[in-house]
Amino acid sequence: MASLMSSLNAPSAAEYAGDEVSAIVLDPGYSTVRAGFAGEDVPKSVVPTYYGGLEPPGGATQVLYGENAIHNPIPHLHIKNPMSQDGIVEDWDAAWKLWEYSLTSRLLGAKPTPAIRNGLNDPVDGDVMDVDMEELDDLEKPLVDNPLLMTEPAWNPVKWREKSLEAAMEEWGTPGFYLQRSGVLAAFSAGKPTALVIDIGASQLSVSPVVDGMILKKSVRKSPLAGNWISQQIRLMFAQSQPPVPLTPHYMVTSKVPVDAGAPSNATYKKYEIPPTDSFRRLEEERVLTEFKESVVTTWYHEFGRLSTSSQGMTNEERAKAAPGARPFEMPDGWNQIFQVERFKVIEGMFDHEGAYTDAENRAPKLEHTIPNLIIASLNSVDVDTRPALLANVVLVGGSTLITHLHERVKRELEAAYPNVRVRLHAPGNPVERKFASWIGGSILASLGTFHQMWISRKEYEEHGAGLVEKRCK
């Protein structure tokens, strides 16, 4: 075809007349909001759920969204999160604005102001122009061209489900809307209609049995032993070390100097006239903790069982101390030390409620909140015939599952609990697939031809109202 083209003839004008709709998938979580076009393999827009409120005393408050804005050590910047510790929305208005930001900033772009509003065409002599303002309002809504698929935790209350539909229709102007449980989508991302989905996120650890693409809502179990809880364990471990480990975030340090392990740091600190807020410091400390989780923390998955058990006259904790591979960790201020048994201990509480670090404020986790007990409780509430099918399709997803060897430990615990059943654990090797599993599942679902039949159209919404979501999105 190309050879027919000559540089001397103008190409014939052929007009494009397609009207493909690309659905948008929105997967809001506690630490990040994932958004992107259906059919793609990674969400294009990943925005931190943390947002900044700039509240100078006596000045106008300002809300800042996005990665670029919230890590700036400026005074009076308060870091907030619209989600509750349960992983559901707490501050609806803030959450909705944040989600809108995640859609407009990287996916859709700001809609251009219509000519009538941009100020250039303001009547000079006070002429009142006769334009239907409502029609213009519709044009300004961000999602008029794109149907929307939103994910939700299985325990999302009805009022938020209805509100999601209402706001998506009224405020974003979407032509079609569907709400799907993130557990189902995570199973889809693994290509399984039936699966036992273990999702360890930032705020919640959940176990959801999915059978033939339907979630067994009554059997979903959740617990707070997730990413944030691990961070808290690391903090406790730091505080209980002898001497305590100083946790200094990057923004406080101008430059550091190498020091010996365990020696006090010898860094130049940055001086702030008005120090950044405590909530900002906490967010920045969390960055250091994330680095600690990535590079130091690992799971004990020895054949001798849990850390606390002992066999052959030697406790596993002693074995862990003797095991090679202690990892050093350097703080932003240069302080460094190796971590040996602590590497395992900060995560042990997820499996063994007695193995956790505790203090007066942070009690040991409840037995039923640990991963093995959560899985057992969930499976016990499921019909006995479906249990083998679920155990043969265990899907492990969520950002916190990326801790080294965690999937091996989960598998070991499952095999110990169900010695006579074949247990197969599916944990994607690609960290992106594990982190964004629900989004990817949503991307698959929303790009299927059948998605057109699933969504609640604008017309249906106008006819039946927000209550429709309970009937349609089960």
Q: List the interface residues with another protein, window 266-305 (CB under 8 A).
A: 266, 270, 287, 290-291, 294-296
d(CA 178, CA 181): 10
| DSSP state at residue 114 | P
Site string for another protein, 399-428 (x = CB under 8 A): ---x--------------------------
399 burial via Cβ count (<10 Å: 0-12, 13-18, 19+): buried
Minimum CB distance to another protein, residue 82 (Å): 21
Q: Which two tokens stand for residue 259?
A: 């020091």
Residue closer to another protein by CB (options 24, 185) is 24
Kindly identify the residues of this chain, within the stretch 14-73, that bind another protein according to CB under 8 A: 14-16, 18, 20, 22, 37, 42-46, 67-68, 71-72
| Nearest residue to 56 (alpha-carbon basis) of 71, 79, 75, 81 | 75
Q: Which two tokens stand for residue 3?
A: 């050879």
Minimum CB distance to another protein, residue 381 (Å): 34
Residue closer to another protein by CB (options 2, 133) is 2
Minimum CB distance to another protein, residue 401 (Å): 12
The CA R_g of the chain, rounded to the nearest whole Å, is 26
Residue closer to another protein by CB (options 16, 127) is 16
| Nearest residue to 168 (alpha-carbon basis) of 23, 315, 324 | 23
Residue closer to another protein by CB (options 48, 349) is 48
User: Buried b vs exposed e over 429-459: b needs ≥16 C-beta within 10 Å?
Assistant: eeeebbbbbbbbbbbbbbbeeebeebbbebe
- In single-letter form, the type of residue at position 303 comes to E
Residue 322 binds another protein (CB under 8 A): yes
Residue 2 binds another protein (CB under 8 A): yes
Give 369's contacts (C-beta < 8 A, 6+ positions apart).
205, 223, 224, 225, 353
Q: Which stretch binds another protein (CB under 8 A): 241-249, 305-313, 351-359, 443-451?
A: 241-249
Residue closer to another protein by CB (options 68, 453) is 68
Minimum CB distance to another protein, residue 234 (Å): 13
Binder to another protein among 257, 274, 367, 416 (CB under 8 A)?
A: 257
Kindly identify the residues of this chain, within the stretch 340-399, that bind another protein according to CB under 8 A: 340-342
> How many residues sit in the footprint of another protein (CB under 8 A)?
81
Lookup result for tokens 């405020």: 171
Residue closer to another protein by CB (options 65, 461) is 65
Lookup result for tokens 């075809």: 1
